[in-house]
Amino acid sequence: MQEPAGQQLLGFLQQLKVERRVSEHTVNSYRRDLKHLRLFCESHQLASWGELSSADILKHIAERHRLGLSSKSLQRELSAMRSFYLFLQKTGQVDNNPAKHVKAPKQARKLPKTLDVDQVCALLDAGANSVLELRDVAMFELFYSSGLRLNELSSLDLADIDAHDKQLTVQQGKGGRSRVLPVGSKALQTLQEWLKVRPAVDENETAIFTSTRGKRLGNRSIQLRLKQWCIKKGIPEPVHPHMLRHSFATHLLESSQNLRAVQELLGHENISTTQIYTHLDFQHLAEVYDQAHPRAKKSK
């Protein structure tokens, strides 16, 4: 592609950072997805973004699908293309948005895996035997107590916790949205115990969860610590941070039946995203029905 195309892409990514204030993770995702589109253009001798048609976008998506990309990944790439072309339209650099009406192939929606209440209690009550394990339990408690995403937990700063009002502030969740969340008594107690022994190697470090060197703990490190915790404590179920978030949502919905409240706590922009947990709740009710109803029990 010609040089202006690269400058236009850089301008879009800069707009995401400065004007829309999206996270670095999101910017990198857009960059990666649009890089694939640029490679498609180069392989098909398209010199500028304005030369692409809806048929080209569809062809690109079909090629990506043949490479094994899931419907969810293709939907994300299309979303990045639509946003990019919307930027080009608004800045007068193209006349139309070729990705606007292109749809990714549909895929069956998988229900997220969750832990039941007993499994969560077994994981969180296993007992910490060191300072690092105390930190780890505080992290796992917060995942389940407040339904945090992985990036939201790793980004937490000391100033984001309000122990008096038993709440925390997510400064920049998905989509750049902030929200205030309650913190349960168990999570708050473990968190305060961790903060008493938190290494102060770097006095300028504002992160709540830090390494032995006093630096902010990264997402990958948190994932590995949860995996190691489960192995060490003899928990057979492979647990990842998002499973604790799913469990938080499912257990809360089962008890409250308040879908709107769960939506707010999870930070979902659309309630349709939250509605997947109603399917999980129904699945649980269906199992109870099958086991309890005299005309539903399977004959032995």
| Secondary structure string (H, E, C) spanning the chain | CCHHHHHHHHHHHHHHHHCCCCCHHHHHHHHHHHHHHHHHHHHCCCCCHHHCCHHHHHHHHHHHHHCCCCHHHHHHHHHHHHHHHHHHHHCCCCCCCCCCCCCCCCCCCCCCCCCCHHHHHHHHCCCCCCHHHHHHHHHHHHHHHHCCCHHHHHCCEHHHEECCCCEEEECCCHHHCCEEEECCHHHHHHHHHHHHHCCCCCCCCCECCECCCCCECCHHHHHHHHHHHHHHCCCCCCCCHHHHHHHHHHHHHHHHCCHHHHHHHHCCCCHHHHCHHHHHHHHHHHHHHHHHCCCCCCCC
CB 122 within 8 A of CB 235: yes
Sign of CA dihedral 36, 219, 203, 22: positive
Task: Please identify every residue annotated as catalytic.
Answer: 149, 174, 242, 245, 268, 277
Residues paired with residue 181 on neighbouring β-strands, in sequence order: 168
CB 65 within 8 A of CB 74: yes
Q: How many CB atoms neighbour CB 63 within 10 A? A: 13
Amino acid at position 151, single letter: N
The Cα–Cα gap between 13 and 269 comes to: 22
